[in-house]
Structure 1
Amino acid sequence: MAETDRLTGSTEWIDLEFVERERTPREIIEKGIRHHLAGLSLSNTVVLLEELGVERSRTAIHNWVQKADLQPAGGKSPDRVAVDQKAIRINNEQYWLYAAVDPETNRILHSQLFPTYTIPIGREFLAELAEKHDVEDALFLVDDANDLKGALRRENLRFHVEIHGFRNAVERVFREIQRRTSSFSNCFSHVDPPTAETWLQAHAVWWNYAY
């Protein structure tokens, strides 16, 4: 996707109920959130808004994303689900981002941040996924990670070990996250894990509408 395409499009997916408490016009907040999630760093988003005649700080734009509380929508019934986990650094500590993607649409079904990866953690992630979507009859596509295979077995869910093919959908998601977190020097700094997860959830919502 061209970079210009990433920065355009509908903003109907941004719920701005919190705007009533903001002094910034709704369209400016929408533009700031969309451009930041699509690829601009906070500093470059500040410059963009300044070019539109609006001066707002990096902190203000960060807070807009947090207050919008964006999360991927539920209610899907995918035939296949690609699942994986990826290391994410928050300050000087390592966390693990679990993600489930519908390979037919490339849309993120669910993502969640955990302090480690284990079979119980994998089961917790799958339980959260099942609360949001109808995945009981889906075929799960995984790599050879023991935590996810063990979790799927214990949840009595069908799975297939696949290194490439349809499972590439979740790898594309992780590559995009790595591209975006390069704006943060590959690390979320000066934030707590819930704040980082809110950003990751918001980015997932942008991804689903951009792709």
Structure 2
Amino acid sequence: MEREATLRLLMKLSIQLHLAGPLLSNTVRVLEDFGVERARSTVHNWVHKTDLQPESGRNPDHVAVDETVIRLDDEQYWLYAAVNPKSNELLHTKLEPTRTKVIASNFVRELREKHDVDNAVFLIDGNLLLQYACERHDLEFWYERHGDRNSVERIFCGIKRRTTSFSNCFSNAKATTADQWLKSFAFAWNQFI
């Protein structure tokens, strides 16, 4: 029996649909409307094999940064995110098993490697670890609880809304799988804003 290849356009549509919100089972039903039968695991694998990442080389004048808790089964991980508050574009994400000064500093270093943010003003809530990271990299930051920093909170709400389809956590997922899904989500988020 010969396997039938899925049209590239339908694969891209499936990936975009899944990252935009529908559950895998709903995405599979859309494929069935086009006469293509695929398992949920197949669509899941397409998303992870594409290795989608937010584009590099941005030059924002402000960057909102924050962290939030994401659950992987019974374990808690910290999702760090940087957002351009003017465009709501996700600039960088990183999933870590804990939160320390070193991890926050590495997140900011990676952000600097991907984007030209040395002259940007970083908008941070009361997070002392991210304030330390900005000081260590000699970056200007402002304490801001609301205003432009809310853009990162809106994105976190979107991510948490999406992870509720995984029972408010990534069930049976390894940290590398969840981190890859979050990077793919960031890519898709930037396409739809």
The two structures share one fold, judged by TM-score above 0.5:
yes
Is the counterpart of residue 69 in structure 1 residue 51 in structure 2? yes
What fraction of aligned residue pairs are identical, expressed as a percent?
53
Partner of 1:135: 117
> 1:178, 1:98 → 2: CA distance?
13
Partner SS state of residue 132, structure 2: helix
Partner deviation per Cα, 1:167-186 (whole Å, 9 max, x = no partner): 01101110110111111111
Unmatched runs of 5 consecutive residues or more in structure 2: none
Output aligned runs, 1:33-72, within 5 Å: 33-72=15-54
Deviation of 1:92 (Å): 1.2
Corresponding residue to 1:171 among 137, 143, 153? 153
**Cα RMSD for the two superposed structures:** 1.0
Unmatched runs of 5 consecutive residues or more in structure 1: 1-21
> 1:209, 1:29 → 2: CA distance?
16
Partner of 1:27: 9
State the AA in 2 paired with 1:194.
Answer: T
Partner deviation per Cα, 1:3-30 (whole Å, 9 max, x = no partner): xxxxxxxxxxxxxxxxxxx821101101
State the AA in 2 paired with 1:181.
Answer: T
Q: How many residues align?
A: 190
> 1:50, 1:197 → 2: CA distance?
29
> 1:207, 1:153 → 2: CA distance?
29
Corresponding residue to 1:81 among 41, 50, 63? 63
Partner of 1:4: none
Partner of 1:12: none
Output aligned runs, 1:166-205, within 5 Å: 166-205=148-187
Partner of 1:99: 81
- In the superposition, the TM-score normalised over structure 2's length comes to 0.96
> 2:56, 2:12 → 1: CA distance?
23
State the AA in 1 paired with 2:85.
Answer: P
Deviation of 1:118 (Å): 1.2
Deviation of 1:165 (Å): 0.3
State the AA in 1 paired with 2:181.
Answer: W
> 1:107, 1:161 → 2: CA distance?
21
Greater than 4 Å deviation, 4+ residue runs = none
Deviation of 1:150 (Å): 1.2
Partner SS state of residue 105, structure 2: helix
Partner of 1:10: none
State the AA in 1 paired with 2:132.
Answer: G
Deviation of 1:104 (Å): 0.9
- In the superposition, the TM-score normalised over structure 1's length comes to 0.88
Partner of 1:119: 101
Partner SS state of residue 24, structure 1: coil
Deviation of 1:153 (Å): 1.1
Deviation of 1:115 (Å): 0.6
